[in-house]
A and B are shown apart, each in its own frame.
Chain A
Amino acid sequence: TQLLEQSPQFLSIQEGENLTVYCNSSSVFSSLQWYRQEPGEGPVLLVTVVTGGEVKKLKRLTFQFGDARKDSSLHITAAQPGDTGLYLCALKRGSDAGNMLTFGGGTRLMVKP
């Protein structure tokens, strides 16, 4: 059983459309991170959300942390081909022992021009 479930697994849309992807768990998180990974590259951190109900914006990307801190969403407005990639949510486990990341399975997004 995966700790973090991401949906949808795949999403193909046209340039200019809006989309939302989700990250859910049955457990409460202390914080959650979103990453974007392009082919042949490692994941790159987009944002960290910490507080229940928190909303963070990064240009056309809006990240929300659920009130109960068990889910999160990423909304992209007016998607562009450059948004194409694998979107991963992750939570950190451990504190004194380090910040190992547990990732969800990812949402693979393709934005067609």
Chain B
Amino acid sequence: GAGVSQTPSNKVTEKGKYVELRCDPISGHTALYWYRQSLGQGPEFLIYFQGTGAADDSGLPNDRFFAVRPEGSVSTLKIQRTERGDSAVYLCASSSRTGNEQYFGPGTRLTVT
């Protein structure tokens, strides 16, 4: 079956621009997670959805970052007024509600010039 997909795979944007990153989770998975992975580091948690609601957004670094999941499936991570420090790979993962395993997508590599 289809795994987690993320689009675009690469995004280059200029400092100050707005970007949207999309995640399509595995069908039927109610839990969805966003992580950010900077070069040479492990992923860092950003936000977690259970269904349509953001159950925990404690990892979002500031109010320029926002994520939605309006129908409980696809999620969009939105970054306003991008900064060079936002450059990283943004990973999405999904799991069943009680699942032990999170299934990760391939990530979106964001480069802010």
Contacts and interface: CB of A to CB of B under 8 A. Distances in A.
Interface residues of B, number: 26
Interface residues of A, number: 23
A97 B42 contact: no
Contacts of B43: 43, 88, 101, 103
Interface in B62-113: 91, 93, 95, 99-102, 104-107
Interface string A91-113: 00010011111111110100000
Interface of B: 4, 31, 33, 35, 40-45, 48, 50, 55-56, 59, 91, 93, 95, 99-102, 104-107
Query: Which 5 A/B pairs are nearest by Cβ-Cβ distance?
Result: A42-B104, A103-B42, A98-B48, A100-B45, A106-B42
8 contacts: A42-B4, A43-B91, A45-B101, A97-B56, A104-B42, A105-B40, A105-B41, A105-B42
